[in-house]
């Protein structure tokens, strides 16, 4: 997927930033597609810092657009669908500093789906301003870690090999754990 995006960026280089932002918005609205391939394309095309900045802007815009979209379309969705994620359920009734802190902290946790946080905030009572600020600030550490990982893997340096090794070990552990009763 990264290669296809890179070809597209090269073909339409004068529009590459806009294309990246649009793809990030689409990924955010879908809520289930990982953005790592787009981060990789951004870093490979724009360089590490510029690519990370483009990814950050795209993910921030995408989160806000998703928030607005979800709020308009799903405001009346039952809370029951979110009960599996107790921290996310707390977000439904939160506002002000509490909402900011919850959104910020949930964005820092890599195992909490980004789309789920956006969805819960959108159907809750959080204002768009608080959501945008907390979501964007919370994405900074996660995106820097993702960018560092992607960069080192694409450069295939020692750090990239170690990162892939750790990911492989975690995946193997997860598969073995799942098969054991």
Q: pLDDT tens-digit profile of 95-127?
A: 889 889 989 988 887 667 788 888 888 888 889
Q: Which of 36, 56, 19, 146 is nearest to 7 (CA)?
A: 19
Query: Rounded to 5 degrees, what angle do the CA atoms 19, 26, 46 make?
Result: 35
The count of structural domains within the chain is 1
Q: pLDDT tens-digit profile of 22-33?
A: 999 999 998 878
Domain extent for 136: 2-179
Average pLDDT over residues 50-78: 87
> pLDDT > 90: what percent of the chain?
32
Indicate if the pLDDT at residue 76 is higher than 70: no
pTM beyond 0.75: the answer is yes
In the DSSP assignment, the letter for residue 76 is T
At 171 the three-state DSSP class reads helix
Q: pLDDT tens-digit profile of 122-172?
A: 888 889 999 999 999 998 988 888 888 888 877 777 777 787 788 778 878
CB atoms within 10 A of CB 3: 11
pLDDT value of residue 180: 67
- Distance, in Å, from the CA atom of 105 to the CA atom of 139, rounded to the nearest integer, reads 10
- Distance, in Å, from the CA atom of 64 to the CA atom of 70, rounded to the nearest integer, reads 10
């Amino acid at each position: 997927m990264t290669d296809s995006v890179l070809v597209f960026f090269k073909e339409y280089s004068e529009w590459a930033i806009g294309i990246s932002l649009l793809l990030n918005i689409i990924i955010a609205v879908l809520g289930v597609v990982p953005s790592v391939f787009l981060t990789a394309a951004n870093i490979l095309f724009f360089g590490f810092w510029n690519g990370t900045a483009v990814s950050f802007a795209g993910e921030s815009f995408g989160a806000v657009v998703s928030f607005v979209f979800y709020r308009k379309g799903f405001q009346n969705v039952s809370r029951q669908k979110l009960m599996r994620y107790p921290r996310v359920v707390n977000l439904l009734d939160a506002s002000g500093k509490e909402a900011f802190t919850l959104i910020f902290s949930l964005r820092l946790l890599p195992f909490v789906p980004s789309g789920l946080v956006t969805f819960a905030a959108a159907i809750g009572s959080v204002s768009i301003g608080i959501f945008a600020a907390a979501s964007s600030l919370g994405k900074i550490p996660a995106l820097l870690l993702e960018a560092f990982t992607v960069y080192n893997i694409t450069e295939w340096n020692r750090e990239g090999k170690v990162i892939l090794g750790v990911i492989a070990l975690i995946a193997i552990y997860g598969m073995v754990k799942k098969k054991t009763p």
